[in-house]
Amino acid sequence: MALWGTVDTLAAAPKWETTTVTFDSTSTSVVVAASDTLVLSEHGLATGDAVTYSDGGGTAVAGLTDATVYYVNHVDANTIKLYDTMTNAVAGGNTGRLDITGVGVGTAHSVQRTPSDIYFVDTTEAGIAANRAKGLQTPGWVEYNTKTVPATVVTFDATQASVVDITTDIIHLAGGSEHSFATGEEVTYADNGGTQITGLTDGQNYFVSNVGPGMIKLYSSAANAKAKGATGLVNLTAVGVGTAHTLTAAAGAVTRNVVENICPMKVAAGTAGDVGVDGTDDAVVADS
Tens digit of each residue's pLDDT, the chain (288 residues): 555 555 444 444 444 557 889 999 999 999 999 999 999 999 999 999 999 999 999 999 999 999 999 999 999 999 999 999 999 999 999 999 999 999 999 999 999 988 777 777 777 777 888 888 777 787 777 777 777 778 888 999 999 999 999 999 999 987 544 457 889 999 999 999 999 999 999 999 999 999 988 899 999 999 999 999 999 999 999 999 999 999 999 988 777 677 776 666 544 444 433 443 333 444 455 544
Q: Say yes or no: 103 and 172 in one domain.
A: no
Domain count for the chain: 3
Residue 15's pLDDT is what? Answer: 47
Residue 128's pLDDT is what? Answer: 84
Q: Say yes or no: 172 and 243 in one domain.
A: yes
Q: Say yes or no: 94 and 219 in one domain.
A: no
Q: Say yes or no: 35 and 123 in one domain.
A: no
Residue 259's pLDDT is what? Answer: 74
Residue 216's pLDDT is what? Answer: 94
| Contact residues for 268 (Cβ-Cβ < 8 A; gap 6+) | 10, 122, 123
Q: Say yes or no: 165 and 139 in one domain.
A: no
Q: To which H or E segment does residue 118 belong?
A: strand 118-121
Q: Say yes or no: 11 and 121 in one domain.
A: yes
- Per DSSP (E only), the strands in 179-253 are 186-190, 205-212, 215-219, 245-249
**Separation CA 216–CA 204 (nearest Å):** 16
pTM of the model: 0.50
Residue 28's pLDDT is what? Answer: 97
Q: Say yes or no: 226 and 85 in one domain.
A: no
The enclosing domain of 108 has a CATH number of 2.40.30.180
Q: Say yes or no: 166 and 98 in one domain.
A: no
**Separation CA 270–CA 273 (nearest Å):** 9
Q: Say yes or no: 183 and 235 in one domain.
A: yes
Q: Say yes or no: 96 and 35 in one domain.
A: yes
Residue 132's pLDDT is what? Answer: 82
How many other C-beta atoms can be found within 10 angstroms of the C-beta atom of residue 233? 18
**Separation CA 117–CA 262 (nearest Å):** 12
Q: To which H or E segment does residue 125 belong?
A: helix 123-126
Is residue 32 domain-resident?
A: yes
Q: Give the residue numbers spanning the domain of 35.
A: 17-113
Closest listed residue to residue 24, CA positions, set 105, 80, 84, 90? 105
Residue 125's pLDDT is what? Answer: 77
**Separation CA 156–CA 160 (nearest Å):** 9
Is residue 179 domain-resident?
A: yes
